[in-house]
Structure 1
């Protein structure tokens, strides 16, 4: 067989193998056909399985999600959160460090379930992550966004000095406080009471540091303080700190002496822990409530 005949034979064999590959694609090749190119370079491919609603995940957000990572031909994930009843909030750029996954998350909405096929340069690189991720591995992530909070504003505000914080509009401070409370509430629902307490205490500190410029501002600050005191009171109760729970309940009553939640909370503390040594006016009212 002359040289040209050998080359023709090799070409025919390659064409046959290519046709077989097209007709019998690997799992990732099959997925590839049904996915959208996020960046335009083929490095991050996305398939929306279940659409979400609302705006996409913002930069620097903290995301509550379930996710699982797979290698090709593997039925079991090399990492997953689906076995957790309460996955933790993950901060983009800090807790989520895989470039492709982070970029993919920025395309998602609340409630969305999507798949992402990541090339090595957007995943674990040419070296992989032995012993679980081989070198130059393409990986698949399945992600469901449960919720997210825009924590970038909180980070920026907390980086300011006390003097700078007092020059920021009160409306911005109240937005930051609302986000911190939302973080705390999420932790509370997951029974992570220490984490919830930290968030509420941050909100309390920011409100306490604010220098009110008018009586109207002072009232808005008091209004914002009330739910924080109530949150702290219930959290301290869950942490078996009845004295602190009563303290924050009384703080709430100083703002609104008829507040039903505060009266009930103080009553819970006194009746549940038998703290009858307290004799202040608000505690007496709470006991009778």
Structure 2
């Protein structure tokens, strides 16, 4: 099956006939598949991520990596980000975080060209946002805030970055900071449901804190 899959392209469907020794053998798979059964598999390749260029990149020396064209560098970083997204949606957040950081390490070089640096920063911005969300999932709001702020350094009007920072501060019970970030995000996207719901959650937390303090007195 693995050999067959390597011959397929994205979107392709194929039939594989596997002799018993390459399928379920003498035992079969009771109760569905009897012993010594030849198996017919129908396989469709919906999507895949090609890691060949990434693997080749990390086998290069630092000097060789630095000499690579920017286009190649951005492509490798984008592939690493795709891997991170894949693991994120599989809820493997630690692996996703490592993949996003690996992509950032690829984008570590600076460029004297403003156009090239702009391309690098655009790729970094996506990774900062992804890392901010991933650290929220990992319940590390302080790190989520760090990457949210890094995203804001590149784009101070980024509603998603402001939202992530607001979420992180809310988790850390820094309600005034959370409100500042969320209100700024709402100003940019007034009809964003996630932002508005987070502001409602913040209001409830502030109210609970107020009554808790009143009862303590």
Q: Fold-level match, TM-score > 0.5?
A: yes
Cα offset for 1:196?
A: 1.1
Q: Which runs of 5+ in 1 are unaligned?
A: 1-100
Q: Which residue pairs with 2:65 in the alignment?
A: 165
Q: State TM-score, norm by structure 1.
A: 0.54
* 1:270 maps to 2:169: yes
Cα offset for 1:139?
A: 5.1
* 1:196 maps to 2:91: no
Q: Provide the secondary structure at the position in 2 that maps to 1:146.
A: coil
Q: Which residue pairs with 2:4 in the alignment?
A: 104
Taking the aligned partners of 1:161 and 1:192, their CA distance within structure 2 comes to 30
Instruction: Specify the structure having the higher radius of gyration (Cα).
Output: 1
Cα offset for 1:111?
A: 4.0
Taking the aligned partners of 1:275 and 1:228, their CA distance within structure 2 comes to 25
Q: Which runs of 5+ in 2 are unaligned?
A: 30-35, 185-217
Taking the aligned partners of 1:267 and 1:273, their CA distance within structure 2 comes to 10
Aligned with residue 156 of structure 2, among 247, 251, 257: 257
Q: Which residue pairs with 1:87 in the alignment?
A: none
Taking the aligned partners of 2:26 and 2:73, their CA distance within structure 1 comes to 45
Taking the aligned partners of 1:284 and 1:207, their CA distance within structure 2 comes to 33
Taking the aligned partners of 1:276 and 1:105, their CA distance within structure 2 comes to 52
- The alignment covers a number of residue pairs equal to 180
Taking the aligned partners of 2:176 and 2:67, their CA distance within structure 1 comes to 44
Alignment of structure 1 residues 83-162 onto 2, 5 Å: 101-118=1-18, 123=22, 140-162=40-62
Q: State TM-score, norm by structure 2.
A: 0.71
- The one of the two structures with greater contact order (alpha-carbon pairs below 8 A, sep at least 6) is 1
Give the number of the structure whose residues are more often strand, by fraction: 1
8 Å contact 1:111–1:145 — kept in the other structure? yes
Q: Show CA shifts across 1:184-236 (max 9, x none).
A: 1111112111121111010011112x242423322221111000000000010
Cα offset for 1:180?
A: 0.9
Taking the aligned partners of 1:109 and 1:251, their CA distance within structure 2 comes to 38
8 Å contact 2:133–2:164 — kept in the other structure? yes
Q: Which residue pairs with 1:248 in the alignment?
A: 147
Taking the aligned partners of 2:25 and 2:55, their CA distance within structure 1 comes to 31
Q: Show CA shifts across 1:141-177 (max 9, x none).
A: 4433231011111111111111110100000010011
8 Å contact 2:49–2:79 — kept in the other structure? yes
- Judging changes above 3 Å, is the alpha-carbon distance between structure 1 residues 158 and 205 closer, same or farther for their aligned structure 2 residues? same
Q: Which residue pairs with 2:117 in the alignment?
A: 218
Cα offset for 1:277?
A: 9.1
8 Å contact 2:25–2:37 — kept in the other structure? no
